[in-house]
């Protein structure tokens, strides 16, 4: 004959949610694991006691088995009450002051849970173990943008000398007062500029032509 099964009923709003003992124990395990995950002494206490309770239930199958814990502070006793409840022990505190401790009794509802606190703590440790290291990374650029940047940099390197040279010449001309607006499409101006640049040669050529003309005239005469 199959034994009776217990259910816990919780109200959520106007609806009643039925939670089985297995689900209820899982919630209790999750709550206890989350409570001690960042407290190393409490974590060690709960894990050690969990292993001791498992060994106790595997070795002692008597329904009247009893386990007396060592004296501990109120907070640790609270953790042990929660752990004993997960295993289904009947538990209570006895003694006074620093001698107060827990007594756990095996009963019909006592059993090894399907999920352990250690399982969830290992999960928390796996998530939290990687250390947060601040690494200064260079700004990531997409390949296309990186190529464009390289092309632009090369173009800037090529054009910079010309730009600088033009800037220097323009500054020198401004300082000497030689900067004037020059018409671009005036042939007379262009001719005067060429004549000015080659004036000495043109003068000498004209002188030679004049001398040659005089000699020809003298020969004719």
**Residue 132 has what pLDDT?**
42
The alpha helices in 37-116, defined as continuous H runs, are 40-59, 74-87
Region class of 177: left (phi > 0), else alpha (psi between -120 and 50), else beta: left
Strands 7-12 and 15-20, by their bridges, are: antiparallel
pLDDT band at residue 208 using 50, 70 and 90 as cut-offs: low
Identify the top-confidence range among 22-26, 55-59, 63-67: 55-59
CATH for 21-128 is 3.30.1370.50
Q: Is 114 helix (H, G, I), strand (E, B) or coil?
A: coil
**Arithmetic mean of pLDDT, 114-126:** 83
Residues 66-79: what's their mean pLDDT? 94
The reported pLDDT for the residue numbered 8 is 47
Could you tell me the CA-to-CA distances from 180 to 68, 166, 183, 197 in Å, in that order? 108, 15, 10, 17
Q: Which of 18-27, 38-47, 62-71, 144-153 has the lowest mean pLDDT?
A: 144-153
- Mean pLDDT of the 185-204 span: 59
- Alpha-carbon span 126 to 120, nearest angstrom: 10
Render pLDDT for 25-38 as a digit per residue (tens, 0 to 9). 889 999 999 999 99
Q: How far apart, in Å, are the Cα atoms of 174 and each of 45, 83, 164, 180?
A: 88, 92, 15, 9
Burial label for 11, CB within 10 Å (0-12, 13-18, 19+), is: exposed
CB count within 10 Å of CB 171 equals 11
pLDDT above 70 covers a percentage of the chain that reads: 45
SS3 131: coil
Percentage of the chain modeled with pLDDT above 90: 35
Per the model's pLDDT, the better-predicted residue between 60 and 200 turns out to be 60
Rounded Cα distance, 151 and 113, in Å: 67
Burial class of residue 21 in the structure, from the number of CB atoms within 10 Å of its CB (0-12 exposed, 13-18 middle, 19+ buried): middle
CA-based nearest residue to 128, from 40, 48, 42, 49: 40
Q: Return the closest-CA partner of residue 122 out of 37, 195, 55.
A: 37
Sequence spans of domains, the chain:
21-128, 186-221
Place of tokens 């939290």: 128
Higher pLDDT, 135 or 89: 89
Across the range 194-218, mean pLDDT stands at 54
Instruction: State mean pLDDT over 82-95.
Output: 95
Q: What is the pLDDT of residues 155-192, one digit of tens each?
A: 555 555 555 555 555 555 555 554 444 445 556 666 66
What is the structure's pLDDT at 60?
Answer: 74
Residue 131 has pLDDT above 60, yes or no: no
- Which residue do the tokens 């109200």 mark? 11
């Amino acid at each position: 004959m199959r034994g009776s099964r217990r259910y816990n009923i919780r109200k959520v709003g106007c609806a009643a949610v039925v939670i089985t003992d297995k689900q209820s124990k899982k919630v209790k395990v999750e709550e206890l694991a989350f409570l001690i995950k960042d407290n190393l002494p409490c974590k060690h206490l709960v894990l050690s006691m969990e292993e001791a309770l498992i060994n106790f239930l595997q070795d002692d199958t008597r329904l009247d088995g009893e386990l007396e814990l060592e004296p501990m502070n109120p907070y640790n006793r609270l953790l042990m009450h929660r752990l004993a409840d997960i295993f289904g022990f009947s538990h209570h505190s006895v003694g006074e002051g620093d001698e107060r401790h827990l007594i756990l009794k095996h009963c019909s509802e006592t059993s090894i849970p399907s999920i352990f606190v250690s399982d969830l703590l290992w999960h928390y440790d796996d998530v939290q173990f990687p250390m947060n290291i601040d690494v200064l990374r260079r700004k990531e650029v997409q390949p296309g943008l990186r190529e464009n940047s390289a092309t632009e940099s090369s173009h800037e390197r090529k054009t910079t000398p010309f730009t600088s040279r033009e800037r220097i010449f323009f500054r020198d001309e401004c300082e000497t007062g030689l900067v004037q607006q020059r018409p671009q499409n005036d042939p007379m101006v262009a001719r005067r500029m060429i004549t000015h640049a080659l004036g000495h040669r043109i003068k000498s050529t004209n002188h030679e032509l004049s001398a040659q003309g005089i000699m020809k005239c003298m020969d004719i005469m």
